[in-house]
Structure 1
Amino acid sequence: MAAIILLESSPVMLAPWHGLSAQIQGNIRNPVFEEVHGEDLWSFGAANPDHNKLFNEAMACDARMVVPAVIESCIEVFKGLHTIVDVGAGNGTALRLLVEACPWI
């Protein structure tokens, strides 16, 4: 949970919130993150390894909380699947948890 809190309370992630009202009012055409940082989140992460590492740790933390709940309440969704693709480009936490719980995948 610490990684999520550190990410969301970082100046990088807090700064876009200051432009939210302008976005809602239609005064900003681009996503607020791009307006504030001059590039999208993915480009920013590629250029800032420390932020990218924290982002991936936070997403893995989120996956460790969410995926078990999804598996517990919706395991039938995964029955009959033999292949699954992880397109998140993080560290594979969500996919690993799914495959451990659903060894037929």
Structure 2
Amino acid sequence: MQLNPSFLAPWYCLSQCIKEGGTAFSKAHGCEVWDLASRNPEVNRNFNEAMACTSKIVMTAILSQYKDGFNNIRSLVDVAGGTGGNRILHDWTDESCVEILRNCKKAIPEKTGKLIIADIVLKTDDHCDKLDGIRMAMDLVMFALTCGKERTEQEWKKLLEEGGFYRYKIIKIPALESIIEAYPE
């Protein structure tokens, strides 16, 4: 997907985006990524195939490390990119994430429920692993293509609290993403 000309073009507009604001994608195409995908079947197919491939990898990693986390699930809501498959918030602004989290909280039983987020958690210390460089590169990808970003634990904590989730736990898995369990109580 990242080698598709439609996804390469924004990188040539990155400095303009930094100077003027907005997304590099909209500078390159005159619209946001979702608008182009809705009008261009090749871009849409390419994006959805990439998201489906990524979802398979992430869900395999989640299920290998998190089997007990899915016990007693009564309902599952998938808020995902492309055709769905794993939950993500990195391509949304902080304000939109808070709104999504508040809506998720409404659907979760307060005493027994939890929200499970699979997303990147950037490190802020010197304890890096072999995937941290790719996580930082994904932050640049989100900056160039969407209005989103990758977030540190402190940024996740702030979003979760503003969304009504005052307790959380981060679980590392063998993937770019981590599991973030968020509790509404």
With structure 2 as the length reference, what TM-score do the two structures score?
A: 0.42
Tell me whether 1:36 sits opposite 2:28 in the alignment.
Answer: yes
Question: Paired residue for 1:70, among 62, 81, 93?
Answer: 62
Question: Percent of counterpart pairs with the same letter?
Answer: 33
Counterpart for residue 100 of structure 1: none
Contact 1:45 1:52 in 2 (8 A): yes
Distance 1:16 1:40 in 2: 11
Letter in structure 2 aligned against 1:16? P
Letter in structure 1 aligned against 2:43? H
Question: Paired residue for 1:18, among 6, 12, 17?
Answer: 12
Provide the alpha-carbon RMSD of the alignment: 2.1
> Is the alpha carbon distance of 1:72 and 1:15 closer, same or farther for their aligned partners in structure 2, counting shifts above 3 Å?
same
Instruction: Give the C-alpha shift of residue 62 in structure 1.
Output: 0.6
Tell which has more relative contact order, 1 or 2 (C-alpha 8 A, sep 6+): 1
- Structure (1/2) with the larger strand percentage: 2
- Paired residue secondary structure (1:54): helix
Counterpart for residue 98 of structure 1: none
Instruction: Structure 1: give runs of 5+ residues left out of the alignment.
Output: 1-6, 96-105
Instruction: Give the C-alpha shift of residue 84 in structure 1.
Output: 1.1
Counterpart for residue 46 of structure 1: 38
State the number of aligned residues.
87
Letter in structure 1 aligned against 2:6? V
Contact 1:60 1:94 in 2 (8 A): no
Instruction: Structure 2: give runs of 5+ residues left out of the alignment.
Output: 88-185
Distance 1:13 1:27 in 2: 20
Letter in structure 2 aligned against 1:30? G
Contact 2:79 2:86 in 1 (8 A): no
With structure 1 as the length reference, what TM-score do the two structures score?
A: 0.70
- Paired residue secondary structure (1:80): coil
